[in-house]
Structure formats: structure tokens, C-alpha cells
């Protein structure tokens, strides 16, 4: 079984927390010319009230042609090298990481009002994390309506409807409690706070 059962994460709250903290999705798309996937990277926002992901891409992106088809989203959280010294030299060198893999259906948004709502939701969400306390948050309304609609013609607005979530959190869960405690403490001392917080 891969990933091993002790590295599988099924807690929906933790899975959603990771995709919210690391919203840049690697999207794996089917390629009719090859057995390999086409890949693109797109920032997505998970709307927990509707249980969908929203985003937009350039209209020439292959995603624009996949209305109604399935794609996989990969969200990668923090990761780091784990030296044996962080575990009192009782383990071999390893790598810690967290990721979420979501199977979804693509829904291309056609309605102009719906596009506007998605753009506003994305802008409001990402601006709040970027704006400094002493600066004014940029508003979509600052762009004239005609200009906005002209720009929307160059974009495809997409909703991704999830059907299956999988978490792969490799955080030394297969080690004894005292080893995990030592790893957590040493990671915190090394400034790897995000990944240390995931270890319990």
C-alpha cells in the first residue's frame, strides 16, 4: 500500500488547512497525444461553503478545453531534510513533507456575473494576506467595468468539483513517541515551525 497507512492523512480539517495555506496547485491533466499528463500550476481557493475550488487561467491553457473532464490537483505543503541528529541519531536521514491530492471535475464558467464573483472572491482573499497593515487593500472595483470585462475575455474561469481527497503526510509517524518529540523540538529550534507543528 502506498503511501503506507501511517503516512495517510484522512482528517478533512487538516487537508483543507494545507490547501488554504499552500494554494498553488499542480494540476495534472490528461494528454490525448501521450500517456503522460500535461501539467500546469494555478493558485486555487477552496470555497468550503460550496465545497469547490475556484480559479482562472489564460484562455489558451489546456484546462480551458476540459469542461466536464477529470483532473487531479496536487497541493504541496512544507518539507525539509531530517538529519539523524534531530532524532538523537536513532534514525537514518530522511525527508519530511506534507501533500494533498484531490481528484476533481472541471466546470468552465460561462456566465459573466459568475466570473465577476469569482474574480472578486479570489482578489479579496489573496489581497488580505498580501496587504500590509499600513496600506490600502486593492479593490477590483478600481478597474472600470469595461476594462474588466475585456480582460475576462482573455481568461477561463473554472470551478473544480472534488470527488476524492487523499493526504500524504510523511512526518515520522512510524517512529516511537520519544523520537517524534525530539524531532519536533529540534525542528522548532531550527526554525522549521510549519512542519514541526504537524508532528504530534
Q: pLDDT of 22-49, one tens digit each?
A: 999 999 998 777 666 788 999 999 999 9
Provide the β-strand partners of residue 52: 47
C-alpha 61 chain-centroid distance: 19
pLDDT more than 90, % of the chain: 64
Phi, psi of 146 (to 5 degrees): -60, -40
- d(C-alpha 197, C-alpha 86), whole Å: 15
Picking from 10-19, 25-34, 135-144, which range would have the lowest pLDDT averaged per residue?
135-144
Residue 128 pLDDT class (50, 70, 90 cuts): confident
> What pLDDT sits at residue 130?
67
Statement: residue 100 has pLDDT above 90:
yes
Say if domain 5-82+94-176 classifies as CATH 3.10.129.10.
Answer: no
The residue extents of the domains of the chain are 5-82+94-176
Statement: residue 106 has pLDDT above 90:
yes
> What pLDDT sits at residue 6?
80
Statement: residue 183 has pLDDT above 90:
yes
The arithmetic mean of pLDDT across residues 47-63, rounded, is 95
Amino acid at each position: 500500500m502506498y503511501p503506507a497507512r501511517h503516512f495517510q492523512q484522512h482528517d478533512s480539517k487538516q487537508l483543507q488547512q494545507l490547501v488554504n495555506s499552500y494554494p498553488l496547485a499542480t494540476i495534472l491533466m490528461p494528454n490525448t497525444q501521450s500517456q503522460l499528463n500535461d501539467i500546469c500550476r494555478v493558485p486555487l481557493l477552496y470555497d468550503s461553503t460550496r465545497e469547490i475550488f475556484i480559479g482562472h487561467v489564460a484562455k489558451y491553457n489546456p484546462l480551458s478545453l476540459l469542461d466536464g473532464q477529470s483532473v487531479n490537483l496536487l497541493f504541496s505543503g512544507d518539507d525539509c531534510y531530517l538529519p539523524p541528529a534531530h532524532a538523537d541519531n536513532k534514525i537514518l536521514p530522511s525527508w519530511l513533507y506534507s501533500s494533498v491530492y484531490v481528484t476533481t471535475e472541471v466546470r468552465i464558467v460561462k456566465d459573466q456575473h459568475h466570473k465577476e464573483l469569482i474574480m472578486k472572491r479570489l482578489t479579496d482573499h489573496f489581497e488580505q494576506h498580501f496587504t500590509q497593515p499600513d496600506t490600502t487593500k486593492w479593490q477590483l472595483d478600481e478597474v472600470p467595468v469595461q476594462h474588466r470585462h475585456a480582460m475576462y475575455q482573455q481568461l477561463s474561469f473554472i470551478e473544480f468539483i472534488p470527488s476524492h481527497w487523499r493526504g500524504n503526510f510523511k512526518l515520522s509517524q512510524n517512529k516511537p513517541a520519544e523520537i517524534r518529540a525530539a524531532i519536533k523540538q529540534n525542528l522548532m529550534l531550527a526554525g522549521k515551525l510549519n512542519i514541526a507543528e504537524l508532528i504530534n
